[in-house]
Each structure stands twice: as structure tokens, then as C-alpha cells.
Structure 1
Amino acid sequence: MGQRIAVLGAGPMGLAVAYQLARDGHQPVVFEADDRIGGMTAAFDFSGLSIERYYHFHCISDHAFLAVLDELGLENKMQWVETKMGYWYQNRLQPWGNPIALLKFRGLSLIAKFRYGLHAFLSTKRNDWKPLDNQNAQTWIRRAVGAEAWEVLWRRLFEYKFYDYSDNLSAAWIWSRIRRIGRSRYSLFREKLGYLDGGSNTLLQGMKNDIETHKGEIRLSAPVTRVVIEEGCVKGVEINGKVEHFDKVISTIPLPYIPRLMPDLPQDVLERFAALKNVAVVCVIAKLRKSVTENFWLNTNDPEMDIPGLVEYTNLRPLDHHIVYVPFYVPGDHPLFSEPDQNFLDKVQRYLKKINPELRDEDFIDLRASRYRYAQPICEPGFLDRLPPAKQSIKGLWIADTSHYYPEDRGISESIGFGRQMARDAAK
């Protein structure tokens, strides 16, 4: 008889935990506050198109993700596409992402281009990240690429992704982002990214069905209000005012929710969770009759645009109309995050028409804005020592979110790999 284990959160990590537990003969019960599975990968009805609220893509190095596809018999749903990157700088759209584009880039000296390219190349080849854990990312990059390349190619990306936190980030964390994209290239000049037929929902539904086939349970619109801890041991969870008993509890919800949900944790542990920082996101998704550019990812450095870039998703996954994601990352307590959706929609129309002057108002079929309060953990220098371990001192309790596979950035594959391993550890 397997163990009965509560899993909090039905994002990719929570589903991966339940998937592994159920396949190993245990009885996971997943509690999800939303009315659908997926977390940041969840789909919504965008005027007749089922699509994710927030963009996702896959790299050829996403081994944990690809392994689950194989196990579910979904490997034939995976499509690989050669994609392009661009850079919007000095009111000019320029190619980006390979050595030739770097050499031809206008607005940067030859020595600055060389230093930038060398740093990117060495970051892609690097494997040992521990020496970077305690280094400041800005200092590390500026020392390597110089003041000119920092100003043109990096500064605004930091400022519009991290705001007040931009000058206190771990170099290891930023290095992992550079390396992941660098390793998505199958030659020095060509980049290959992947998408699933049907989007992430294909994977989510496959995992959900597999969990239920193996006697697991998923409860939607079921927010847990408290994890019951007595005498240093987990007893169960409270939902709708009633306590339901479990052998163990594995939480995969954003770490900032933990002090509210588990007030009986030791005070020093609560303080460590409370000290962790996150930024929110307002992500606008636009449906257009025309493409904006030929690029999948477009970095932007424009004083009139308060975004680090945009993603033209249909330059990766073909659809009937052109889909563009424009994320506004901002601290949750910043006044910008409280602005009405229409302010962001108006900005996006203005930005896209500036990048492509051929776009007219009638080319915009629909625009929507989605918000996620804890979208991006902030990983400061020394983050590894600041992060509470997934295995808690409380018997039967595991707590983790996307922060826990630091220095890797949040991603579906990383969440799956970490979640499956945590499930194996917890069930021992």
C-alpha cells in the first residue's frame, strides 16, 4: 500500500511530483487554487484560440521534458524549428544571435563586439557555476564586455526585467540564461527551438491523464488554507475549514505564500522564506493579421519602451493569426503593477506599430493582459545559502518552487526534473 501524499500546486513541478508518485504506486492528491492545471503554463481562450497566458519554448537540452514526452507517447507532438533573433536599437531592427549579426550590428565598436562575443562564447562553454554564485552579475558582465557593450546590449534588459533588484543579482543565475540559449544552437550560426503541437496543454493533459490512470487525484479550485503541523510532524492540510490527513505534504506553490500557509514552521525558517524576493509580470498577448518581424525573440533598447523585449510566438509555432507576447516585468508593490490593463494594451499597440510602421489599428484583432504576482524569483549573490532546503526539518514536509533549481532559470523541463526527483526523495 503506497503513501497518501498531498501535493500543493498543479503547475509543471506539482504535476511532475504527482506523476512520479503515482507511477511509483503512491496516492498523490494535488490541490490547485486555480480552475485549471498548469500554473504559468495554463492555457486560456483567446477569442477562439486556446493558448498559454505566458510564452514558453523548448531547447534541445531540455532532457527531463523530452523524457516525459517519450514516456507518455507524445514524442511525435514535438516540433523543432530554426528560429531567428533580432535587436531593436536606435529605431532600427537589426539581426541578432550569431557572430555575423554581431559583426554587422550598428551602434557598437569593433572592440565592444569582440568582448561581448567572447563573453557569450565562454559562458556557453562553462560548466562550473559555483565560483559565480557570490559574484554580482552586473560587475561580472561589465568587467567582461566593457562599459560600451554593457550600455548598449545589457543595461536596459536588466532595468526592465529586474527594476530595483537589477544591481544585486547573482552572476551564476544570469550565466545560466546565457548558456541555455547558447546551447540551443545546433551550429554557430543557427538556432533551433521547439514547440508542442497544441502547446503546453498537450503535455499538461497527458500528465493529468497519467496521474489519474495511476490512481492519483487532482482537485481544481481547491486552495489549501493551512498545512497542519503538530509536534514537528506534518499531519495533513486544511481545506474549506476541514482537516484532511496525509502521510506527507509536498508544496510547489510560490515560496512567498509559505509563511501564510505554514505559520507553525520554526521562526528562523519563516524568516528565510519571508526574505526571498520576487517580481511580478503583466504579460500582454496580441493577435494580429500581420507579423511584426521575422524574429521569434526581439530584444529592445528604446527609451520609449519600458520592456526588455518581446516574443513573436508564431515565428516558432505556426497558427492562423500572428501571436505576440509582450511581458512587463515589475515588482509587485510598484505603482506600474497596479495600472489598469488598458494602459498596457495601449503601450503594446504603440510599440508594435513603431517597430513595424506597416501595422494599422485594424491589424490588431485582439489584445489581452494576464498578471502573475510571483512570476520571477530574484536570485541575489549567495542565493544558494539563502534558500531554505526543499526537505524541511518538519517530518514529512517538502517545500520547493522554481527557485530550487538555481542557478537554472524557471522552465518547464527544470520544473519536471526537480519535481520528479523530489517525489522520489520524499517517498523514501
Structure 2
Amino acid sequence: MTKTVIIGAGAMGLAAAHYALKLGHEVDVIEADAVPGGMAAHFDFDGLSIERFYHFVCKPDRPTFALMEDLGIGDKMRWRDTSMAYFKGGKLHKWGDPISLLTSSLLNPVEKFRYGLQMFLTSKRRSFDDLENRTAKAWIEGGAGRSVYDKLWRPLMDLKFYQYADDVSAAWIATRVRRIGNSRKSLFQEELGYIEGGSETLVKALVDSIERQGGRIHLKTPAERIETEDGRVTGVRAGGKLFPAQAVISTVPTPFVSSIAPDLPEPSKRAYEAIRNIGVICVVHKLKRRVSPHFWVNIVEPGIEIPGIIEFSNLRPMPDTVVYVPYYMPTDHPKWSWSDEQLADESFGYIRRINPQITEADRLASKVGRLRYAQPLCEPGFAAKIPPVRTPIEGLQIADTCFYYPEDRGVSEGARLAKEMARAIGTDHQPRREPEFA
């Protein structure tokens, strides 16, 4: 048994605690927020319990399914036919299947062939190591063509990454394409998943498992410092209290690492500080009327300064229409300082441009959420920038969502990495046969 402290009660931190307890370790989880779950946490949206930030499940997300089975909630997984579209020229263009591609007016015949071939081949690839040092722009232009990039990709990249748009990893983009491309029930039908009751169902099951196994979760307890002695962790100071520990797992965003782990060697701290992030402001609207029949709408329309909308109620059935409008941006962008009301009004105006039949009377409620470190900037060669999970300080492991690379953020990769970190507890950086889970 190793006395373990886990910093962060997001999905990865909670899953790490669950797996560590199964292996017989003693676990305390500390969390700055008043509720567990991190980006998967719910809030009360005018009487509806829903995620702060949208989540969906794809068929390749096997670690999610394994975790749910382990928690006894495997029967809560639900699948639904979904679709996506582009909004351009004042109208919606269905997208994402061969018929939509062939009949679309967005591309000419040569562009359709090149785009379709590149996306199909990407969905079948096992590895993207050869793309590690290429930009997404160069990869897409080399496959589908520059005109396709300019028409379908450039507006989205510009409105998510701004000044960094031309320096995004091709491996990261291709992995996202493969994940969505393989979440289908046929060549002609996309199928995405959700957990019955929302991600809160998973969070509650993790919390229940942790507490049932004797673990402790300390909310409103921000981490202040990881304590060390002779090059090994001895505990975590959090909320004015010392939590003694022989092992520590930190899952907080890498920008916080240098301040809470000041005893790390300077090269290690510089490595964490070199990982850049952008923020997200996510506006959620509850409406009387449906916006579109699609789950996801990419927007490439001049004058609309968002990359798309997610009509979540077209995935998870709800009494009213629920739409997420994400504003990804560097936190020095002027809109980051806008009021919630400004953002809600502007985003609702964009929704009305997509569906002019919607009026102000159709808006039931709006809510704005902000996350300063939401999306790591994964440039070409990013894999070499990621520090090892096991740090030079014995007993200390550090990981956040950028460690999922080339996969994107999500519960599945968090669950996979959580299990790996739990297995490494107590090994003191020495090779040892991995323990087996019951």
C-alpha cells in the first residue's frame, strides 16, 4: 500500500483514484472546485442538469467503455444516429457521408474526389508518426488541395487557433478525423454516443467507487505546493493543510505545474512552461425551437466569428433544444474580457443567422462558462515537447490533457492514462511487473 495524493478531481484524476484504490493504495483526492468532475461536471441549467462543456463518445473510445464496465454502469451507454453540416452562403450543407459529398455545391468534382479520398484513407490508418513534423495546413493541402483547405478548413482553424492556425500538428488533426470517421454504423451513417444522464453519471459512479473503497475527496481545497525531501515526494500542501504522501499524481493543467512543484529541476519546469494553451468560452443556450437537424454545424460564413455550434439535444434527448456555442481563443483576445451578456447575445444572433425562424421569444435561458487552459496548442513536433509522466522527483507523476497527444482531449484518453499512472504508483522509477486488476 502506498499513501497517494491525487491533485485534481476531473475525470482523469477520479479515474486514477479509482484504479489506485483497486490496487490497494490509500488515496486522497484534492480539488480546488466546489464540485468534482472538472470539464465533465454538470450545472443546473434552468432546471436541466447538463455538462459545463459538451461531451460525446465515439466508437473507438474503448477505455471509456472499460471504465464504465468496471464501475457497473456499462448499461448506461447510448448510441444515436447523428449528422454534421457546413453553414455557408446563408444555408446548411449536409456533410460527412458519401452522398452528401457527391451532391454538395461546396466543392467541385476534383475537390470532392481528393477530399473524400484523403478523409477515407485517414480513417483507415493505424499510425500518424509520419505526420508528426508536418503542419495540418501542409498535410491537407498536399492531399485534398489548397482550394479545399481555403474553403473548408482555413476559416475553422483561424477561429480556433487565431495566430497559431498555420502551426497546428497534422498528426493531431488526422487523429481527430480518424476518431470521428470510425464512429459509424455504416458508410452512410455516423453514430455517436452519450452516457444516460450525462457525464455526471460517470462522475458520480467514480466518486461512489472512491468513497466505497475508502478513498477521500477534498473539495474547495486548492493545491499550494508539492512537498519533497531528498528528491522524493513527501506530501501535498493544499487548502492550508498538509496531506502526507509517498506518491503524488498531478492532473492539473501544465501552466500550474511550476508553481505547485517548485522543487522540480529547472529544465523540467521550462518544459512545462513551454506548452502553450488557448482558452474557451462556451455559451449554452436553451431554446424552444430546433436550430437544425444536425449535431455539429461547422461555420465558414463571413461575419460569423465562431467555428461552429453543437446542437447537443440532437444527440442526447432533452425536453428543449440545447445548443453549445464555443469561442476558442487566446486569453489576450479582446473578446475574452467581454461580459457574459455580450457573448450570449452575439452567439444567439449567430444562431438566428443559421435559422432565421428563431426569434428572441424562443430563447429560454443562456449560460456562459470559461476555461483559461482549455486546449493545448499542438504544433508539429509536439510529441518531443511532452515531458515524461514520471518526473525526476521520485513518486511524482504529472499529466494533463496535452499528454493524450496525438489524441484530443476526452474521457477515453484520460481513463487510459489514469490506469497507467495508477499501475506506476509505488514502483519508484524501477521496472516492476505490472499488477493485474481484478
TM-score by length of 1: 0.98
Q: How far apart in 1 are the matches of 2:153 and 2:372?
A: 25
CA contact (8 A) 2:140 2:146 kept: no
- Corresponding letter in the other structure for 2:175: S
Query: How many angstroms does 1:354 deviate by?
Result: 0.8
Residue-by-residue CA offset, 1:379-405 (whole Å, 9 max, x unaligned): 111111111110001111000011112
Q: For residue 61 of structure 1, what is the aligned residue in structure 2?
A: 60
Provide the secondary structure at the position in 2 that maps to 1:381.
coil
1:335 alignment partner in structure 2: 334
Question: In structure 2, how many angstroms separate the alpha carbons of the residues matched to 1:337 and 1:215?
Answer: 42
How far apart, CA to CA, are the structure 2 residues paired with 1:330 and 1:201?
27
Q: Does 1:417 align with 2:413?
A: no
Distance 2:239 2:425 in 1: 26
Structure 1 residue 3 corresponds to structure 2 residue 2: yes
**Post-superposition offset of 1:241:** 3.3
Amino acid at match of 1:173: W
1:113 is aligned to: 112
> Is 1:185–2:158 an aligned residue pair?
no
2:115 aligned partner, one-letter code: Y
Instruction: List aligned pairs for 1:69-88, cutoff 5 A.
Output: 69-88=68-87
* 1:307 equivalent in alignment to 2:306: yes
Coordinate RMSD, CA, aligned: 1.0
Letter in 2 for 1:163: Y
Check conservation: 2:255, 2:272, Cα contact below 8 A: yes
**What is the identity, as a one-letter code, of the residue corresponding to 1:425?**
A
Give SS of 2:319's match: coil
Distance 1:177 1:75 in 2: 24
8 A Cα contact 2:309 2:324, kept in partner: yes
8 Å Cα contact 1:21/1:427 also seen in 2:
no
Structure 1 residue 422: deviation in Å?
A: 1.1
Q: Deviations over 1:147-199 (max 9, x none)?
A: 21111110011111111111111111111110010000121110111111110
Q: TM-score, normalised by structure 2?
A: 0.96
Aligned to 1:154: 153
Q: What displacement does 1:333 show?
A: 2.1
Could you tell me which amino acid in structure 2 is paired with residue 182 of structure 1?
G
Q: How does 1:132-281 map to 2 (within 5 A)?
A: 132-281=131-280
* Residue aligning to 1:400: 399
Q: Percent identity?
A: 45
Partner residue in 2 for 1:426 = 425
1:283-298 correspondence runs (5 A): 283-298=282-297
Q: Indicate the SS of the match to 1:111.
A: helix
Name the count of aligned residue pairs: 427
Equivalent-residue separation in structure 2 for 1:179 and 1:107 (angstroms): 22
Write the distance in 2 (CA, Å) between the matches of 1:334 and 1:354.
Answer: 24
Q: Partners in 1 of 2:327 and 2:391 — Cα distance?
A: 34
Partners of 1:242 and 1:413 in 2: how far apart?
32
Q: Matched residue of 1:225: which SS? A: strand
Displacement of 1:328: 0.2
Alignment-mate amino acid for residue 255 of structure 2: P
Structure 2, unmatched stretches of 5+, are: 428-438
Aligned partners of 1:48 and 1:255: how far apart in 2? 35
User: Which stretch of structure 1 is more off in the superposition, 111-120 or 230-239?
Assistant: 230-239
Task: Give how far 1:231 is off.
Answer: 2.4
Match of 1:128 in 2: 127
Tell me the residue number matched to 2:370: 371
State the distance in 2 between where 1:73 and 1:241 align: 36
The SS at the match of 1:291 is coil
Q: Which amino acid aligns with 1:329?
A: Y
Give the residue type in structure 2 aligned to 1:132: L
The residue identity in structure 2 corresponding to 1:151 is D
Classify the secondary structure of the residue corresponding to 2:5: strand
**Are residue 21 (structure 1) and residue 20 (structure 2) matched?**
yes
Output one character per residue of 1:22-69: Cα deviation in whole Å (capped at 9) or x when no partner: 111111100010001111111001111111011000011111111121
Deviation (angstroms), 1:331: 0.7
**CA–CA distance in 2 between the matches of 1:73 and 1:270?**
39
Query: Residue 435 of structure 2 corresponds to which residue in structure 1?
Result: none
Distance 1:26 1:130 in 2: 36
- Tell me by how many angstroms 1:242 deviates: 3.5
State the one-letter code of the partner of 1:418.
Answer: L
Deviations 1:207-226 (A, max 9, x none): 11011111111111110111
> Which segments of 5 or more consecutive residues in structure 1 lack a partner in the other structure?
none
Equivalent residue letter for 2:54: Y
1:357 is aligned to 356
Q: In 2, are the aligned partners of 1:25 and 1:214 still within 8 Å (CA)?
A: no
Alignment match, 1:45: 44
Q: 3-state DSSP class of the match of 2:145? A: helix
Q: What residue identity is the alignment partner of 1:129? A: F
In 2, distance between residues paired with 1:189 and 1:362? 37
- 2:2/2:425 contact within 8 Å kept: no
- Say which SS state the counterpart of residue 166 (structure 2) adopts: coil
3-state SS in 2 of match to 1:243: strand
User: Which amino acid in 2 is paired with 1:254?
Assistant: P
Does the 8 Å contact 1:86/1:96 carry over to 2? yes
Contact kept? 1:173, 1:379, Cα under 8 Å: yes
Q: Aligned-pair distance for 1:115?
A: 0.8
Q: Say which SS state the counterpart of residue 270 (structure 1) adopts.
A: helix
